[in-house]
Amino acid sequence: MEQIAKQFIAVRAMITNEDDQILVIRESDEYQGGAGHSKYDFPGGKVKLGESLADALSREVEEETGLIITANELVWVDEWRPVVKGEQIQIFGVFFLCKPKSSLVIKLSADHDDYRWISPDNPDSLSLIRETENALRALVKKTKS
């Protein structure tokens, strides 16, 4: 078993637009705190100690995209173990389907360099991190059942 240096809970927002597409953002190669350089992911991030999942989700989405959102339902829970700055980290990710409460004008943070609206049915259209693909597949399965 690998030595885990840190453990986090992270939230991810699966934000939909009027065409039922979902927002993904690409992690910049310049970002030092991640392991998904040049890959697309949902907006979101770490839950701070004492912070609720909903508050963390709202805060992270606004920081990364400038959007104000409402979390509608839990879609997926996953776990991953990236190596960041030479340390093995364990992350538990909680993915929520969300709707924007503000206009869809995206203002990316310095940690991200691109965004796209994608169809949940086509996760292979971009270079997505594995957990994002898993969540998209779970969403498609949920909506078809």
Where are the chain's structural domains?
A: 6-144
Sequence letter at residue 41? D
CATH value of 6-144 in 3.40.50.11540, 3.40.50.970, 3.90.79.10, 3.40.50.2300: 3.90.79.10
CB 109 within 8 A of CB 63: yes
Residues of the chain with confidence (pLDDT) below 70: 1, 31-37
pLDDT, residue 126, reads 87
pLDDT, residue 37, reads 65
pLDDT, residue 121, reads 87
Number of neighbours of residue 85 by Cβ within 10 angstroms = 10
Q: Measured between alpha carbons, how far is 87 from 81 in angstroms, rounded to an integer? A: 10
Q: Measured between alpha carbons, how far is 38 from 93 in angstroms, rounded to an integer? A: 20
CB 113 within 8 A of CB 103: no
How buried is residue 76: exposed, middle or buried, by Cβ count under 10 Å (0-12/13-18/19+)?
buried
Q: Among 143, 139, 138, 135, which residue's Cα sits nearest to residue 44?
A: 135
Sequence letter at residue 77? V
Structure token pair of residue 119: 């169809």
End-to-end CA distance of the chain: give it in Å, rounded: 37
pLDDT tens-digit profile of 91-109?
999 999 999 998 899 999 9
pLDDT, residue 86, reads 85
